[in-house]
Amino acid sequence: MKTMKVLKISEPGKFDVCEEPIPVIKEGEALLKIKFCGICGSDLATYTGNQPFASYPRIPGHEFSAEIAEIGDNALGLEKGMLVTANPYFNCGTCYSCQRGKVNCCESNETMGVQRDGSFSEYIVMPIERIYPAVGLKPELVALVEPFSISYHAVNRGDVQAGDKVLVMGAGAIGMFAMYSAKLRGAEVYIADVFEDKLQKALSLGADGIINVKTEDINERVRAITSGNGMDVCIEAVGAPQTFLQTIESAAFGSKIILIGNGKKETTFNHSVLLKKELDVYGSRNSRNVFPELIELIGTKAGNIEEIITDIYPLGEVKEAFESLLNNDGSKLKVLINFEA
């Protein structure tokens, strides 16, 4: 029986490398050989015990590129050897959200690496209808499709418009993808963070301006940028109480707040300010129906997006990769694991 390496978080802070049988596909499934996996903030939260939806032991991972190793006849034109990625959000199909087509909001959603086992495995099985071909792209870039989709969906949901002044709180990978997504819609985008290295990277990736909240007064900068009006759209991509509250402070009257960041800490504030400013607040969960569009965008319009990848670790150094992100000095954005190294 052929076996494969599987990486499991057996308990918070502990990785186990296991040998397990390569799974056997059923009808309607494909066997995928993993090439690259990205480490998501939710994977880090599972590793540290701060992921509110995870249970243990858990195989992390849902940002990946893979090669089709085995597949049956299908109507999607998918063939053995194709480079692909896949939608990692499993919806029930029967709840009220699913009935209305909002499958990303499924009441029983199971995301790979969180509620169900993920892609940190040499081989995985996926339903054929969840697989998207990415022929012609580098496999490293294909592993960016899922995290890009999170921010892209959020910006679409908030209906960011050309000419909008947008503030993104957080210059991590999701914040960078939010900046990218808003720029694709013609917005003027500023990004705020505590790490100067990340902010300089944001400038090189196309941000119109940066705000270092360690050294600058963010409220003064926002007033200067907007002639005292406030931002048309504020995007929270951290998941912390203080950054959420800052979006409320920075938003113009009659403007929008988009929430992407996910965290466990409660936030206390006077909700009357939402009424006073008549703010539209959008929660954004996962993504929906954007993978093919993003694969095309990455291949055509997002020319320097590869710069978001700052580190690639071999499979044998996965613990070091996670620890490097936990102790990030601001130099790391998207960290990938190379399953073929």
In three-state form (DSSP H/G/I as H, E/B as E, the rest C), the secondary structure along 32-98 is: EEEEEEECCHHHHHHHHCCCCCCCCCECCCCEEEEEEEEECCCCCCCCCCCEEEECCEECCCCCHHH
Tens of pLDDT, residue by residue over 81-122, are 999 999 999 999 999 999 999 999 999 999 999 999 999 999
Whether residue 10 is found in the same domain as residue 139: yes
Structural domain span for residue 106 = 3-143+304-338
Comparing CA positions, the residue from 112, 131, 183 lying closest to residue 152 is: 183
Sign of the CA dihedral running 118, 296, 159, 239: positive
Is pLDDT at 40 greater than 90 in this prediction? yes
Phi, psi of 18 (to 5 degrees): -115, 155
- 290 assigned to some structural domain: no
121 and 54 housed in the same domain: yes
Please indicate, yes or no, whether residues 256 and 165 belong to a single structural domain of this protein: yes
When pLDDT is averaged across residues 263-273 and rounded to a whole number, the result is 87
Are both 119 and 235 inside the same structural domain?
no
Q: CATH number of the domain that 254 lies in? A: 3.40.50.720
Do residues 45 and 139 both lie within one domain? yes
Q: For residue 10, what pLDDT is reported?
A: 93
- Strand partners for 67: 33, 83
Same-domain check for residues 121 and 204: no
In the beta sheet, which residues pair with residue 169? 192, 236
Average pLDDT over residues 261-272: 87
Q: Are residues 194 and 223 in the same domain?
A: yes
pLDDT at 250: 98
The answer to whether residue 296 sits within a structural domain is no
Other beta carbons less than 10 A from residue 107's beta carbon:
11
CA 226 – CA 53 distance, rounded (Å): 39
Q: Is the pLDDT reported for residue 195 higher than 70?
A: yes
Confidence of residue 303 (pLDDT cuts 50, 70, 90): low
173 lies in some domain: yes
In a shared domain, residues 81 and 173: no
Q: Tell me the C-alpha to C-alpha distance, in Å, between residue 240 and each of 22, 37, 66, 91, 274.
A: 40, 26, 33, 27, 18
Q: What is the mean pLDDT of residues 69-81?
A: 96
Instruction: Give exposure, 64-73, as e/b (b: 16+ Cβ within 10 Å).
Output: bbbbbbbbee
Same domain, 9 and 138: yes
Cβ(202)–Cβ(336) below 8 Å? no
CATH number where 15 lies: 3.90.180.10
Kindly tell me the burial class for residue 100, based on how many C-beta atoms sit within 10 Å of its own C-beta (0-12, 13-18, 19 or more): exposed
Q: Domains in the chain: how many in total?
A: 2
Is residue 226 in a domain? yes
pLDDT, mean of residues 26-50:
94
In this structure, is residue 134 part of a structural domain? yes
Q: Are residues 48 and 9 in the same domain?
A: yes
Of 145-149, 247-251, 268-272, 279-283, give the lowest mean pLDDT range: 268-272
Q: Is residue 292 part of a domain?
A: no
Model confidence, pTM: 0.95
Q: Of the given ranges (46-60, 127-141, 304-318), which has the lowest mean pLDDT?
A: 46-60
Provide the percentage of residues in the chain whose pLDDT is more than 90: 89
- The average pLDDT across 131-147 equals 96
**168 and 242 assigned to the same domain:** yes
- For residue 266, what pLDDT band results from cuts at 50, 70 and 90? confident
Flag whether 288 is in a domain: no
Q: Determine, yes or no, domain membership for 299.
A: no
Q: Are residues 275 and 156 in the same domain?
A: yes
Q: Which two tokens stand for residue 134?
A: 């990415």
